[in-house]
Amino acid sequence: MFGSSDLLILVVLVPLITAYFLPLCGYIRSSLCNLVSVFSLSISLIISLYLAKIVVLEGTIQYFTTGFQPPFAIEIRADQLTVLMVLATILLSLLTVIYSRYFIRGRFTEERKGLYYALILLLAGGLNWFIIAADIFNMFVGLEILSISSYTLIGISQKRKAIISGFKYLLMGAIGSSFTLLGIGYLYIMTGTLNFNDLALRIIELNLMHSEAILASLAFIVTGLSIKSAIFPLHVWMPDAYSEALVPICALSSGIIVEAAVYMLIRIIYTVYGTKIIMEIVPITTIFLYISGIAIILGSFFAISQTNIKRMLAYSSVSQMGYIILGVGISTKLGLSAGFLHLFNHTIMKACLFFAVGGVVYRKGITEIYEFRGIGKKMPWTMTFFSIAALSIIGVPPTNGFVSKFLLAYASLDAEKWFFAIIILISSLLNAVYFFKIINISFFSGKKEEEKDIKEPPKTILIPTGILAILCIIIGFAFPIPLSMIETAIKSLIT
Amino acid sequence: MIWVLDILLLILLPLTAIVVVRSRDLMVAAIVYSIYSFDMAIIYTQLNAPDVGLAEAAVGAGATTILFLIAITKTERMEE
Amino acid sequence: MNLSFYLQHYNYWICVSLFMIGIYTMIAKKNIIKKFMGLNIVDTSIFLFFISMGDKRNAAAPILHAENEIIVNNYVNPLPSVIILTAIVVALGLTATALSFAVKIYEEYGTLNSEKIERLW
């Protein structure tokens, strides 16, 4: 019988194995693909909920693939933070698959639909692999699986520009992967191990704190994962990719792929290198602090100047990634937990925004902001969900965005970095500028022309959007639950 | 005296890489890339990693080159 | 850290120069397929780096000859080989994806020159 630790590997295996059967289903009957992928991801969701319960009650789960103990075995582990990430991944992939049922109708031929769902499931499996790895090379393999499937997903679209944006993403991402692999090489040549905890021990044991090779590995890994996570100066692939890709893929990419990369970046720099290297020897947290300040402000300004709503949301993502990095920059326990809380909140908010925009795209096929005139009267539910998520990103009180922004501002005041509290306030105002513009256009101006045929998108598009919008408000009240889980994990992360 | 062979093979690597970069005919570049990969495979075997040598000979010199050739026949041969 | 140390580790010099050649190709060459050849050169240079670090002087490949006597110092480290076996396959997958992108781009735009594509965009 399965033990609880054996269940952990199923989170990876169930989506990955299903992914290989989906093209077959596509040949038999294309409508089967959607059902099979929903079924598979639902099973994964149940497993991950059960895992979350176990982890909260009993603590960290470890699983070794061979009979040995680590560092000789390949280890995967799940602490409270990991379980939250896995939950977010599976939930968002499930909603994306449900959402895609009507959204991709007519965009692909019947055989291709199977491949589309297979790629999404590969992405989900790769993400889970990437997240639960406690071994730096396993992390790399998971990273490659998720990257290759995400390049392809960004590239498939009706528009010809999508191929070019996918190609640009591939070039940058491939350089990022190579850099990560090189960094792993430097770590391995100095320490002779790959396990996260063992690496941390060896670096202290062998007195490698000031070794140039270790610092080079830090530089390579941070650069490589920063490209994947679109941290400010390396974000250039993101707006191009999102403006052309299919909307569900934008939601998935912006909601979870960049988040997973930044999560792994934080995990590696804290567990492997430890606070002494990243704060004193190479002040990487200070660098992140200033980068985050620039990213928050510049991302908001770029977002204001956009006319395409998907590009605007992409630049908004750049700004929001700045908040998460700000948590690292503050580098106190409170700051880091606020950053991680914002990471999960951003998953929900940004996916909800993209889903709502996708509803409009499905009915009208528009992405320019001025064309949203009067949409709110035709599609009240869609635009209401959009407004809830937008208010959440701005940080209006009963939503989850307010909680994490408030905690970030409080943490920066607490760490006597009051300047960044001011930046958070200014950025909230800038966010308000561009989101209220859309809300205003869609609800309060209009009657330009009466189009009778515009109505709400189908339920499979509306319901995932609604679930995420409701989650925005629920987490706004129930934030202590994820926050306590994050804080427990961070206590072991920062020692 | 095996180290002379080692060094010759190692020097061949950047030379073939430069030919790959400089040649304007993509077909030539792909074939020279195959030589480069095969050279790399021999070096892996010399460095006591025969399994990687086999894999590189099959994957690098074989599969990757074939992929490049297929891509070149489907697109254009000369670099502009 | 004297000159002979650097001269003895000549493999790594080749790795560095190959890495640089590959990065140069990815940045400077306009042709998309050429860029991916550069990517492959970068990848193989990293593989060579891993394999070089696993090697030892006067040691044999990690294949078990006699079961009774296993002296660890007589065998090279097998772990980098295993890592690189995985990474080679991953690189093949990446190349296949990239080349399918290149073919698709050629079908849509009729050129592989990245500057021309940028103008057509």
CATH value at residue C97: 1.10.287.3510
Contacts of A141 in chain C (CB under 8 A): 86, 90
What does the pLDDT read at residue C70? Answer: 73
Number of domains in chain C: 1
In percent, how much of chain B has pLDDT > 70? 99
A379 within 8 A of A360, measured Cβ to Cβ:
yes
If asked whether residues A293 and A270 sit together in one domain, one would say no
If asked whether residues A165 and A114 sit together in one domain, one would say no
CA A196 to chain centroid:
22
The closest of A367, A357, A381, A354 to A462, measured between CA atoms, is A381
A–C touching, 3+ CB–CB pairs within 8 Å: yes
Of B20, B43, B59, which has the smallest distance from its Cβ to C37's Cβ? B20
Q: Which of A266, A281, A296 is the last residue of a domain?
A: A281
Q: What fold does the segment set B2-74 form as a domain?
A: Four Helix Bundle (Hemerythrin (Met), subunit A) (1.20.120)
Q: What is the largest CA-CA distance in chain C?
A: 68
What does the pLDDT read at residue A2? Answer: 58
What does the pLDDT read at residue A451? Answer: 61
Domain-embedded: residue A150: no
Q: Where are the alpha helices (DSSP H) in A206-246?
A: 212-228, 237-244
Residues B46-77 pLDDT 10s: 888 888 899 999 998 889 999 999 999 988 88
CB contact under 8 A, C18 and B14: yes
What does the pLDDT read at residue C74? Answer: 78
Contacts of C50 in chain A (CB under 8 A): 185, 188
If asked whether residues A258 and A304 sit together in one domain, one would say no
C37 within 8 A of B20, measured Cβ to Cβ:
yes
Domain-embedded: residue A129: yes
Contacts of B37 in chain C (CB under 8 A): 44
If asked whether residues A289 and A276 sit together in one domain, one would say no
Residue C41 touches chain A, beta carbons under 8 Å: no
Mean pLDDT in residue range C43-67:
82
Number of domains in chain A: 3
Residue A323 touches chain C, beta carbons under 8 Å: no
Contacts of A140 in chain C (CB under 8 A): 87
If asked whether residues A202 and A259 sit together in one domain, one would say yes
Domain-embedded: residue A148: no
Domain-embedded: residue A319: yes
Domain-embedded: residue C65: no
Mean pLDDT in residue range B15-44:
91
What does the pLDDT read at residue A1? Answer: 45
Mean pLDDT of successive 10-residue stretches along chain A, which has 495 residues = 73 89 83 87 91 86 74 81 90 91 80 85 91 88 91 84 87 91 90 86 84 89 90 86 87 89 90 83 87 90 88 89 88 88 90 89 80 79 88 86 89 86 89 86 70 74 89 88 87 78
**Domain ranges (residues) in chain B:** 2-74
Domain-embedded: residue A151: no
Contacts of C56 in chain B (CB under 8 A): 48
Q: Where are the alpha helices (DSSP H) in A229-332?
A: 237-244, 247-252, 258-268, 274-276, 284-305, 309-330
Chain A closest-CA separation from residue C4 CA (Å):
19
What domain range includes position A305?
Answer: 283-495
Shortest CA distance from C43: residue in chain B: B60
Domain-embedded: residue A436: yes
Which residues make Cβ contacts (< 8 Å) with residue A357, sequence separation at least 6?
Answer: A247, A309, A310, A313, A367, A386
What does the pLDDT read at residue A453? Answer: 67
Identify the helix (H) or strand (E) that includes residue A14.
helix A4-28
Domain-embedded: residue A59: yes
CB contact under 8 A, C81 and B51: yes
Contacts of C80 in chain B (CB under 8 A): 49
If asked whether residues A61 and A76 sit together in one domain, one would say yes
The letter for the amino acid at B64 is T
Rounded Cα–Cα distance for residues B6 and C11 (Å)? 10
If asked whether residues A294 and A230 sit together in one domain, one would say no
If asked whether residues A311 and A196 sit together in one domain, one would say no
Rounded Cα–Cα distance for residues C76 and B47 (Å)? 9
If asked whether residues A191 and A68 sit together in one domain, one would say no
Chain A closest-CA separation from residue C84 CA (Å):
10
Half-sphere exposure of A417 (CA within 13 A, CB side): 21
Report the sign of the C-alpha dihedral through residues A249, A255, A256, A257, in that order.
positive
ipTM of the complex in this document: 0.93
What does the pLDDT read at residue A435? Answer: 87
Pick the residue with more confidence: B32 or C71? B32
Residue C19 touches chain B, beta carbons under 8 Å: no
Contacts of C15 in chain B (CB under 8 A): none
Please name the residues between 79 and 108 in chain C that touch chain A, using a CB distance below 8 Å: 79-80, 83, 86-87, 90, 93-94, 97-98, 101-102, 104-105, 108
Distances in Å between the Cα of B47 and the Cα atoms of A43, A297, C57, C91 are 47, 52, 10, 21
Q: Both tokens of residue A58? A: 């009993």
CB contact under 8 A, C31 and B79: yes
The closest of A334, A307, A321, A300 to A417, measured between CA atoms, is A334
A155 within 8 A of C104, measured Cβ to Cβ:
yes
What domain range includes position C51?
Answer: 3-59+76-120
Q: What is the three-class DSSP state of C57?
A: coil
CB contact under 8 A, C101 and A166: yes
If asked whether residues A311 and A275 sit together in one domain, one would say no
Residue A78: phi and psi, rounded to 5, are -130, 115
Pick the residue with more confidence: A397 or B40? B40
Residue C109 touches chain A, beta carbons under 8 Å: yes
Half-sphere exposure of A51 (CA within 13 A, CB side): 32
Q: Both tokens of residue A307? A: 């006319």
Q: What is the three-class DSSP state of A160?
A: coil
CB contact under 8 A, A164 and C35: no
Domain-embedded: residue C52: yes
Domain-embedded: residue C70: no
DSSP annotation of C58 reads T
Q: Is the confidence at residue C25, as pLDDT, over 70?
A: yes
